[in-house]
Amino acid sequence: MKIMKNFNGKVLFLDRSDINTDEIIPARYLTEITKEALKPYLLEDLTLTGFDNKEDIKDKVVVVTRENFGCGSSREHAPWALEVNGINVVIAESFARIFRQNMFNCGMMAIELPKAQIDNLFNNYSGSKTNIEVDIDKAKIYVSSGEKSEVLDFELGGFDKVLVQEGGWVNYADNRY
């Protein structure tokens, strides 16, 4: 079964660096043993002025954020909590290693862009309804909001790409090792 996830949709802007996995999904919910059960708790402890974890997450597919997203605990509950809320892409200046690997291991995308491009996304699109489409084959990100639109290039390593295409590391490793 090789079904790629949906990488096209509305954008949630999180204007902060070092958002850790305790903020993405607090440890008190790690007693859950299904991914679906994490759904109401995504970003419940996020420290970000004006952020409402019930309203702001609705219908979003892409997160755009700053540096070192997903630092701290190794909990894959963090990508899962995003996934069960329909968020399959995080675009950031940089990621913590374990979180980044967990995203690709789940067939999700953790895309790094240079600081200037992230700044540009926040400056030009944050605050207005924005859509992003990610084309994995062409390695392009299509950003649009009302009249505004642009196309950004991104880099995807060979291993990351194959994990996304094969629906994650378990499928890949099971076929190969």
Partner 1 sequence: MGKTLVEKIFDAHRVEQPYPDTHVLKLDRVFCHEITTPIAITDLMARGKDRVFDSTKIKAVIDHVTPAKDSKTAEQGKIIRDWARRHKIKDFFDIGRNGVCHVIFPEKGFVRPGYTIIMGDSHTCTHGAFGAFAAGVGTTDLEVGILKGVCAFKSPKSIKFNLKGSLRPGVYAKDLILFIIKELTVNGATNMAIEFTGPVVDEMSMESRMTLCNMAIEAGGTVGVCYPDMTTVDYLWNHIKDEFSSKEEALKDYSKWVSDEDAIYEKVYDYDISKLEPMATFGNKPDQVKSVKELTGTKLDQIYIGSCTNGRIEDLRVAASILKGKRISDEVRAIVSPASPAIYTMALKEGLIEIFQSAGFCVTNPTCGACLGMSNGVLASGEVCASTTNRNFTGRMGKGGMVHLMSPATAAASAIAGTIVNSQLYKG
| Residue 22 found at the interface with partner 1 (CB under 8 A) | yes
| Residue 97 found at the interface with partner 1 (CB under 8 A) | yes
- Are 123 and 115 within 8 A, CB to CB? no
Which range binds partner 1 by CB under 8 A, 5-13, 19-27, 136-144, 147-155? Answer: 19-27
Write b or e for each residue in 15-27: b if 16 or more Cβ atoms lie within 10 A of its Cβ, otherwise e.
Answer: eeeebbbbbbbbe
Which DSSP state fits 60? E
Give me the least distance between CB of 77 and partner 1, in Å please.
8
Please, which residue, 27 or 151, has the CB nearer to partner 1? 27
Which stretches of 31-105 are DSSP H helices? 77-83, 97-105
| Residue 150 found at the interface with partner 1 (CB under 8 A) | no
DSSP letter for each residue of 70-88: TBS---THHHHHHHTTT--
Tell which one of 5, 8, 16, 32 touches partner 1 (CB under 8 A). 32
* Footprint of partner 1 on 35-94 (CB under 8 A): 35, 45, 47, 67-68, 71-76, 79, 94
Q: Which of 128, 131, 129, 127 is nearest to 150 (CA)?
A: 131
Give me the least distance between CB of 86 and partner 1, in Å please.
19
Which stretches of 6-68 are DSSP H helices? 21-24
Binding site for partner 1 (CB under 8 A): 18, 20, 22-23, 26-28, 30-35, 45, 47, 67-68, 71-76, 79, 94-99, 101-102, 105-106, 157-159, 162, 168-170, 173-174, 177
